[in-house]
Amino acid sequence: MNLVEVHFAEADKTVLVQPGTTLLDAAEMAGVDVMSGCTRGMCGTDAHRVDANGDALETPGDAELGTLERMGVGAGCRLLCCAKVRSGKVTVVGDALTG
Q: Read off the pLDDT of each residue in 63-89 and give the average, rounded to a whole number.
A: 94
Q: Which domain holds residue 13?
A: 4-95
Q: How many structural domains are present in the chain?
A: 1
Q: Read off the pLDDT of each residue in 30-58 and give the average, rounded to a whole number.
A: 90
- Which three-class secondary structure string do you get for 52-67? ECCCCECCCCHHHHHH
| Strands, sheet with 13-17, edge to edge from the N-terminal-most edge strand | 13-17, 4-8, 89-95, 47-52, 77-79
**Predicted confidence band of residue 62 (pLDDT cuts 50, 70, 90):** very high
Q: With the CA atoms of 84, 89, 26 and 63 taken in that order, what torsion angle do they form, in degrees rounded to the nearest 10?
A: -20
The string of pLDDT tens digits covering residues 22-33 is 999 999 999 999
How far out from the chain centre does Cα 40 lie? 13
Three-class secondary structure of residue 94 per DSSP: strand
Amino acid identity, residue 5? E
What proportions of the chain, in percent to the nearest 5, are helix, strand and coil?
20, 30, 50
Q: Read off the pLDDT of each residue in 40-62 and give the average, rounded to a whole number.
A: 91
Which residues have CB under 8 Å from 57's CB, separation 6+? 50, 78, 83, 84, 85, 86, 90
Residue 69's CATH number: 3.10.20.30
Would you say residue 99 has pLDDT above 70? no
